[in-house]
A and B are shown apart, each in its own frame.
Chain A
Amino acid sequence: MEFGLTESQEFLKDSARKFFAGECPSAEMRRLMETDTAYDAALWSKLTDQGYTGIIFAESLGGVGLGKVELMLLMEEAGRALLPGPFFSTVVLAGSVLDAVASSAHKNKYLAPICRGEVRATVSIVESNASWNPRDIRLNAANGKLTGEKLFVPDAAVADFIIVIAHNGVFVVDSKARGLKISPMRAMDLTRKLYAVEFNDTPAEEIGTTANLARALDIATAALAAELVGGMQRTLDISVEYAKTRKQFGKPIGMFQAVQHQCADMYLETESARSAVYYAGWALEENSPDASTAVSIAKMYASDAGRTVGNRGIQIHGGMGFTWENDIHLYYRRAKGSETAFGDATFHRERIASLVIDSEGVTAKSV
């Protein structure tokens, strides 16, 4: 048993870190967050050149064919850089849904262009009831048309197509389709833009059933938790750095235990979230029977820890942490958005509860 990363996994993580540091430093991230969509075509083509847009997809589709652990590592580094724009929406979310539910013809039509970096896409799931449980989806397709509204859809304005999770199937809507209205939702996270998407008798192409959706959502959920870990790591790093250099009472504030112990807790929370995320990535890759539980454990822990690490980091920075100028609030904003996306900690605790408390018969049998 080996919980460490392999040499090639270390290499991927390291090169991703260097890539994001070089191509998306803080100044560039801040420039993009001030734009309407946070999307940059030049950055996208560099992501494509790295193979990131096809990271986990089959080579026959133009992908790289790497595993879920590698996806976690890439997302962790993207999170560390607070990568703006539709990478998560397009590659992780839309890509995984297409990979899980679509026929090979539909994969060639929609997933292959994602791998090749030619298109942006997103997935619309949540409705006004704000439930991440697919059972609560009301939107129905009738005669190949959709009418209704989806909320909190990431990066919809730059998507060439939007995947719609409806009650009775999974559909693709072209961005230029009739009756489609995309309106920005003004949300905390400035680096990942959210939208309300309205359909009014909008033509939609059915690409599959919701039966295989769970696995795709598990992959996206774990990847989002991985991204949170990267944000936590960055928050920890800049907080520790600040605690070493900022002086009060003639000493670095990191010398005071009240500050030092906050840093220690940030470290404990970050490392624990990372362990849970890596395990979830591995369980997904292996199709382990506990994969869904592992994903919930990771998202539950990372959702809470992302917030508390941010709380502690801002507090350690004192007045500087409360300024617009310091990057720490940008990570804090992303962490809040990611905390609720795909179910917050409360949602995942209930999902774990239903697996560990209500499944008495199941566990009894398997033992």
Chain B
Amino acid sequence: MDLNLTKEELTFRDELRAWLANNLPKDWNEWREKPIEESFPYLRAWQRKLQDGRWAAVSWPKEYGGRGATLMEQAIFWEEMARAEAPPMANSLGLGLIGPTIIAYGTEAQKKRYIPKILSAEEIWCQGFSEPNAGSDLAGLQMEARLDGDHYVVNGQKVWTSYGWIGNWCELVVRTDAGVAKHKGLSVLLVDMKSPGVEVRPLRQMTGESEFNEIFFRDVRVPTENVLGKVNDGWNVAVSTLMYERGSYGARLHLIFKRAITRLIELSRSVQRNGRPAAQDPLIRQKLAQCSAEIEIMRFNQMRAFSRITATGVPGPEGSIQKIFWSELNQRLQQIAQELLGPYGQLLGGDPHAVDKGIWSYAYLRTRGNTIEAGTSEVQRNIIGHFVLGLPRSY
């Protein structure tokens, strides 16, 4: 156990810091609050710039344009990006989830075809997993893919698709065999979103925005060469993508949460509670301290998990701890914010009395989604129960 950065890690960090110092756009603050439709070209350009410095996909093997970064270096990458308040990358699903899945399961031709354009943000990727009747029970999905010569003909609906509105390509999970057990009849298709019969509609969520889409597929023809992995082995391919989702996401959250709690502590000095600053109120102090401590523990868990994954090579079910931990912690964090702000907590952006331009009311609503998206807390607890603790399957 040695939590000091190694020489290699320090070199990696310093190289990144130096690169960011020279290349970080100065005008991100003017863009960050604009609707994503407007800022998207900006985010694309930023990703391209990162990739010019070979920073867009540090975890990927060098031969595919990455740096073969260790998990610790990936954690350093996300910490430094958060520290610098760098803009997000346009193709975040392509870089974080779908690219690694293509690298793991794709043919050489597929890798050659898709990987470079994921890196350059030339082609944006979305993920077609959930359906109206297949949320937690993802393997029960219905979307039909019927073989017709050298094409699959796809019919059905996907929902909760991030980046659907701008996506050029979709990692689509479909049913290729309805006659076998539900996990065994799935396949993953790489689908051109411009194919005839694809229709994308915005899905308005409880925050009022539309981060996600519904996608309808009507007789969409997908060439058989676009199957990722083996036909009817799609469950394993999809689960691998989900593991990347659960494993890597936590790394970037520590500084974001830390920034939020630091701001709440700052606010607690000026907000009055029972005639004195809230920072002097014993109950508020307890809650702020609990939250600060849990943010650190989240990081310790992450680092420990990384060390374990480094030994085994792939993200494992322990990632479920991280998913539960960060999502529930984020909700507690926002609850404290609301308690601290009292009636001001409900004010939306644009209201002249809103604190911090209304980010707290937004985050309060948005964090309800955290324990649902990327696998509900209930599903995560099932995964821990069955795959980690060896309890019998409950369903």
Which residues of A come within 8 Å of B, CB atoms? 1-6, 9, 69, 240, 243-244, 251-252, 254-257, 259-261, 263-265, 267-268, 271-272, 274-276, 278-279, 282, 286, 294, 296-297, 300-301, 346, 349-350, 352-353, 356-358, 360
Assuming the A-B contacts A349-B289, A353-B285, A353-B289, are A301 and B297 also in contact, with contact meaning beta carbons closer than 8 angstroms in the complex? yes
Contact yes or no, B391 A353, CB < 8 A: no
Complex Cα–Cα for A117 and B306 (A)? 40
Most chain A CB within 10 A, of B4, B6, B392, is at B392
The closest CB in chain A to the CB of B310 belongs to A4
The yes or no answer to B183 lying at the interface (CB within 8 A) is no
Please name all residues of chain A whose beta carbon is closer than 8 Å to the beta carbon of B113 when the two chains form the complex: none
The closest CB in chain A to the CB of B301 belongs to A275
Contact yes or no, B297 A1, CB < 8 A: no
Please name all residues of chain A whose beta carbon is closer than 8 Å to the beta carbon of B325 when the two chains form the complex: 268, 272
Measured CB to CB, the closest approach of chain B to A132, in angstroms, equals 16
Complex Cα–Cα for A272 and B310 (A)? 19
A selection of 5 A-B contacts at a CB cut-off of 8 Å is A4-B310, A268-B321, A268-B384, A272-B301, A282-B1
Q: Which of B296-349 contact A (CB under 8 A)?
A: 296-297, 300-301, 303-304, 306-308, 310-311, 318, 321, 324-325
Measured CB to CB, the closest approach of chain A to B9, in angstroms, equals 6
Assuming the A-B contacts A4-B311, A276-B300, are A264 and B389 also in contact, with contact meaning beta carbons closer than 8 angstroms in the complex? yes
Measured CB to CB, the closest approach of chain A to B375, in angstroms, equals 13
**4 A-B pairs with the lowest CB-CB distances in the bound complex, closest first:** A260-B385, A275-B300, A4-B307, A264-B381
Please name all residues of chain A whose beta carbon is closer than 8 Å to the beta carbon of B304 when the two chains form the complex: 3-4, 271, 274-275, 278
Assuming the A-B contacts A1-B303, A349-B286, A356-B265, are A254 and B385 also in contact, with contact meaning beta carbons closer than 8 angstroms in the complex? yes
Please name all residues of chain B whose beta carbon is closer than 8 Å to the beta carbon of A356 when the two chains form the complex: 265, 288-289, 292
Contact yes or no, A263 B265, CB < 8 A: no
Please name all residues of chain B whose beta carbon is closer than 8 Å to the beta carbon of A2 when the two chains form the complex: 1-3, 307
Main secondary structure of the interface of B (DSSP, over half): helix
Complex Cα–Cα for A267 and B2 (A)? 24
Please name all residues of chain B whose beta carbon is closer than 8 Å to the beta carbon of A260 when the two chains form the complex: 381-382, 385-386, 391, 394
Measured CB to CB, the closest approach of chain B to A67, in angstroms, equals 9
Please name all residues of chain B whose beta carbon is closer than 8 Å to the beta carbon of A257 when the two chains form the complex: 378, 381-382, 385, 394
Contact yes or no, A267 B321, CB < 8 A: yes
Please name all residues of chain A whose beta carbon is closer than 8 Å to the beta carbon of B294 when the two chains form the complex: 301
Contact yes or no, B293 A301, CB < 8 A: yes
Contact of B385 among A4, A261, A296 (CB under 8 A): A261
Please name all residues of chain A whose beta carbon is closer than 8 Å to the beta carbon of B286 when the two chains form the complex: 346, 349-350, 353
Complex Cα–Cα for A301 and B384 (A)? 21
Main secondary structure of the interface of A (DSSP, over half): helix
Interface size on B, residues (CB 8 A): 50
The closest CB in chain B to the CB of A274 belongs to B304
The closest CB in chain B to the CB of A349 belongs to B289
The yes or no answer to B200 lying at the interface (CB within 8 A) is no
Please name all residues of chain B whose beta carbon is closer than 8 Å to the beta carbon of A271 when the two chains form the complex: 301, 304, 318, 321
Measured CB to CB, the closest approach of chain A to B299, in angstroms, equals 9
The closest CB in chain A to the CB of B286 belongs to A349
Complex Cα–Cα for A279 and B297 (A)? 9
The yes or no answer to B290 lying at the interface (CB within 8 A) is yes
Measured CB to CB, the closest approach of chain B to A286, in angstroms, equals 8
The yes or no answer to B256 lying at the interface (CB within 8 A) is no
Please name all residues of chain B whose beta carbon is closer than 8 Å to the beta carbon of A267 when the two chains form the complex: 321, 384, 388-389
Please name all residues of chain B whose beta carbon is closer than 8 Å to the beta carbon of A300 when the two chains form the complex: 289-290, 293
Measured CB to CB, the closest approach of chain B to A133, in angstroms, equals 15
Contact of A297 among B282, B293, B382 (CB under 8 A): B293
Complex Cα–Cα for A279 and B292 (A)? 15
The yes or no answer to B72 lying at the interface (CB within 8 A) is yes
Contact yes or no, A263 B296, CB < 8 A: no
Complex Cα–Cα for A274 and B310 (A)? 19
The yes or no answer to B5 lying at the interface (CB within 8 A) is yes
Assuming the A-B contacts A264-B381, A278-B1, are A254 and B307 also in contact, with contact meaning beta carbons closer than 8 angstroms in the complex? no
